[in-house]
A and B are shown apart, each in its own frame.
Chain A
Amino acid sequence: MADLSALLPAATIAIPLLGAGLILATGRHENIRESVTIAAALAMLGTVLAMLPAILGGGKISLTLLPMVPGGDFALRVDAFGMVFALTAAVLWLLNSFYAIGYMRALKEHAQTRFFFCLAVAIAAAVGIAFSANLVTLFLFYEVLTIITYPLVVHIETPAAMKAGRKYLTYLLIGGIFLLAATILTYLLTGTTEFVPGGFLAGSGAALTLQVLFLLFMVGFVKAAWMPLHGWLPAAMIAPTPVSAFLHAVAVVTAGVFGIVRVAGWVYGMPLMASLGLGVALAAIASFTIITASLFALAEDNLKRRLAYSTVSQLSYILLGVSMLSVAGMTGAMVHIPFHAFMKITLFFVAGAVIVAAGRERISDMKGLGRKMPVTALMFSAAAIGICGLPPLCGIHSKIFLMVGAVEGGMPVLLLVIIASAVLNAAYFLPIIYTMLVDRPADPHALDGVAEPPLIMLVPIVLTAALSVLFFFNPSVPFMDLVQIAIGEITAGGLP
């Protein structure tokens, strides 16, 4: 049995890949193909859950698959922080699969086999990033994720989509090159790229070298969409909504912030970050992004694009938490990854449901929609207040930790950023809620024939919203517990 459980990380990645192969093979028979997706999602969730008790017990699962290049074997290691990402991805892939099936069928989208194939490979890459034991392996999955999501972004194949796709690839491939350079430089400085809780770079080079290296890493993790390198994310909103939901609120951008947290906690370590002054630099980038992106969101009338800017802004909360270099800040950052994912996917699901049920994408066209789609609109409202940081949703937990962290880390000015951002969040979300629930359309018959989306889409919406509420009442199972373990590991060597 011991042997079998050691193989679980590999199985978690292999299952969606196998599923992807079967999806291609069964592409002609839609129902079988969709069953494969669901079966793979369930199986993957099963393997992730099977590893959870061991990780919650403070254990780790390591597995070296192949020797690869100097600097890093192809190796996996499941730890608490990787588990946070993997578990989020596994749960949301399952829900998103149901939703996507409903969405793609309702709109009679073309090339559905390609769509589900790419989605399955992408989730394998995302989990691979979560489980990577070193920078080389992480880079490998990171690049695979870039390439495999491209067909999803350009799914509709219009000239506009192709243009957006080029922008997407340009940003992410250039980012990949920076990440590769950073990985190789790390290897040359230290002779390893293996993640070590608390970091391993200290004392390996001049301060300037390490500062430049961190910049390389930051550009490398352009998937985190920090400003001004965020341009690819709104552009990618041209993708079908399940893609936007899953890849641009959960897998791709999360891979970016996950990478930055990994590098901060497991390559540099907080004391080194502090002595290099990187916390302040990161705080500046994050604050700028949070405020600017919120302002951009205010100006957007397209719902998906407004959500995209909201994502840009929210991701920088995670960076902000890291920049505080304190226990509370780091806790807030890590726990914001799953919590934001659950709330944001609800919002995207609703945006897609509105497209399917009413064919509307512009917020100004959504007046009175809540009367025809009450459940959908309510779920949207709930998730939106959650993002603003109000109870009873899980968003408030990460916000409180961030605020404590700001004080603890000696940067009270960041409190202002968080408060200003909360006001801006409310300013761009509350009008949507008003428009949907209270406003009436100018033409009373404009909404005739609009109804709730099919159940296969509605149920995932309700479930993600319900989970967001559940995590408010019970944040510790399992995410906060996992985060506490991870924080314990990286602070064992002392705090700045």
Chain B
Amino acid sequence: MMLVHLPVFLVTIPIVASLLILAAGWHDRRFCHPIALATVLFQFGAAVVLLFGVMRGGPIHYHVGGWAPPLGIELVIDSFNGFILIVILLLSAAAVVYAKRSVEKEIPADKTVSFYVLFQLLITGLVGMTITGDIFNLYVFLEISSISAYTLISAARRPHSYVASFNYLVLGSIAAGFILLGIGNLYVATGSLNMRELAVMLPASYELATVHSAFLFLMIGFSIKAAVFPLHLWLPDAYAESPSVVTVLISTVMAKVSVYALFRILFTVFTTAYILDSFPVTGIVLFIAAVAIIAGAVLAIGQDDLKRLLAYSSVSQIGYIMFALGVANQIALEGGLLHILGHAVMKGCLFMVAGLIIYRMGTSRLSELKGVAKTMPVSCAAFALAGASMIGIPPTIGFMSKYYLVLGAFEAGHYLYAAVLLVGSLLAAVYIWKFIEVAYFGHPHGEEHGHAAGGGRNDRGKREAPLSMLAPVVTLALLCLILGMGVEVLMENVIGPAVTLLLGGA
């Protein structure tokens, strides 16, 4: 039965596909996109099948090559990473659809093939990180995705994109070094690299300095990768200077997988007993998260470039997810996981709109985008909807995760931190409104205010971006609303069990 091997196909088939892209693309560049699209759709389909399998029959364990865990690599899919898998592949699929015209516009034709190869490898590396049950294997996939990402960021070929890529390379390598040290320490302490085994063996050595330092190394390493404030310094440049579609991918999929890895290490490898009792970090995580929420949002407000504004907003939003980690009760973590989904969908949508605007208007500077909503009404409406979700206006998904987070914080008695969360959403309103005001109520130079526009009949030509780019944008924007309305179904079937799993430390 081939279905049994589905977990490993999730990684191997895309790797083969990336070679296929290289070979076929050599022959004719037009083959690249269909192959990439078919692959990501296969992955998404497989992820859906796997998640349903998990929901019915519990976690799926797959031993690569038939080698049992202590020796061989184990792939594990449970309700937590099954959910993450769906999120990242949904966003990847949207990004690949979006990529076609965006790449044609932004990437030199002779680099198209290598771009798609790396794009495919990036997605594959991230999927691998998500499904592996082996921490060294996690590191290998982390490096695959990171190296692809460094290259893709510089593919924009703007003067500053090389600097952005290099900065990220340096910080990313430091992070990778930390992570490797952490893994090494854990191996020294226990002699195992399998996550499940570690979880069983570690409690005996919880008081060892080796384990404490391993924990810190891993925390810091993954915090750099996830751009947790104040380790976010690589992020704004990397997001703002990449090609549009790369921004979409790294801001949603890659950021979420890094956060996932952090959660996985904290809850599955170390278990709640460690992070609450042996090495209490939740207090400091909560504090850092609160600072991140406010600082990211304040920095976002100060930006004039739309992509950079959204990048700082990500710093703030990562803070929301870390906030859940800091509160660490059932309901807050539910909110945190929901926000992983919600933020991926809305930020993906917002960055895609930024890409559409660059595609049509050639700039993402707010001061040059006055009245852009008249030219691109559908894109801007999508931005407004996803933006409302970012602010947390009900009934969008952004409101629902905020509600759970605040409820969790109240329940844990963190009233002040809950207030920070609410202030953060107010600041989000300010930076989202910067664009809304410019796009909808700004007047391009030379056009009179108000009445002189005359009955609204002198529509300047509407020039939306191509349909293949617009469709994923609209889909994601509507998802903000649909997921918000259907949040109860998600909570009941997927997120609730996932959080129980995390807190149970299984």
Contacts and interface: CB of A to CB of B under 8 A. Distances in A.
B451 A108 contact: yes
Contact of B403 (A66, A69, A158): A69
Contacts of A165: 437, 441
Interface stretch (A42-50, A179-187, A411-419): A179-187
Contacts of A173: 391, 426, 429
Interface stretch (B94-102, B103-111, B319-327, B452-460): B452-460
B383 to A, nearest CB: 14
Contacts of B453: 110-111
Nearest to B485: A66
B422 interface: yes
A242 interface: no
Interface in B451-506: 451, 453-456, 485-488
A143 B451 contact: no
B392 to A, nearest CB: 8
Interface stretch (A149-157, A356-364, A374-382): A149-157
Secondary structure dominating the interface of A: helix
Contacts of A188: 407, 410-411
A184 B422 CA distance: 12
Interface string A127-162: 000000000000110011001000100101110001
A68 interface: yes
Contacts of B441: 154, 157, 162, 165
B454 A110 contact: yes
B45 interface: no
Interface in B410-442: 410-411, 418-419, 422-423, 425-426, 429, 433, 437, 440-441
A174 B426 contact: yes
A70 B406 contact: no
Contact of A108 (B399, B407, B454, B485): B454
A112 interface: yes
A158 B400 CA distance: 35
A37 interface: no
A450 interface: no
Contacts of A398: none
A162 B437 CA distance: 8
A147 B486 CA distance: 22
- Name the residue among B429, B443, B485 with the largest chain A CB count within 10 angstroms: B429
Interface in A174-224: 174, 177, 180-181, 184-185, 187-188
B450 interface: yes
B394 A157 contact: no
Interface in B55-107: none
Nearest to A156: B450
Contacts of B440: 151
A143 B429 CA distance: 12
A26 to B, nearest CB: 14
B449 interface: yes
- Name the residue among B411, B437, B485 with the largest chain A CB count within 10 angstroms: B437
B163 interface: no
B456 A184 contact: no
Contact of B451 (A68, A107, A177): A107
A113 interface: yes
Contacts of A269: none
Interface residues of A, number: 38
A158 B450 contact: yes
Nearest to B394: A140
A380 B423 CA distance: 44
A449 interface: no
Secondary structure dominating the interface of B: helix
A144 B406 contact: no
Given A68-B395, A184-B407, A109 B451 contact: yes
Contact of A69 (B388, B404, B410): B404
A118 to B, nearest CB: 11
B433 A66 contact: no
A25 to B, nearest CB: 13
Contacts of A154: 441
A91 B481 CA distance: 30
B336 to A, nearest CB: 15
Contact of B449 (A74, A113, A156, A166): A156
B410 A180 contact: no
Nearest to A140: B394
A367 to B, nearest CB: 26
Contacts of A107: 451
Contact of A169 (B399, B433, B486): B433
A110 B451 contact: yes
A112 B456 contact: yes
Contact of A181 (B400, B406, B454, B486): B406
Contacts of A494: none
A398 to B, nearest CB: 33
B456 A158 contact: no
B426 A157 contact: no
Contacts of A68: 395, 400, 487-488
A114 B487 CA distance: 30
B393 interface: yes
* A-B pairs with lowest CB-CB distance, top 7: A67-B488, A140-B394, A110-B453, A156-B450, A177-B422, A110-B456, A157-B441
Interface of B: 331, 388, 391, 393-395, 399-400, 403-404, 406-407, 410-411, 418-419, 422-423, 425-426, 429, 433, 437, 440-441, 443, 449-451, 453-456, 485-488
Given A169-B429, A177-B425, A177-B426, 18 more contacts: A70-B407, A74-B485, A108-B451, A109-B451, A110-B454, A140-B399, A143-B393, A144-B394, A151-B440, A158-B449, A162-B437, A169-B433, A173-B429, A181-B406, A181-B418, A181-B419, A184-B407, A185-B410
14 contacts: A68-B487, A69-B407, A74-B485, A107-B451, A108-B454, A109-B455, A156-B451, A157-B441, A157-B449, A157-B450, A165-B441, A173-B391, A181-B418, A181-B422
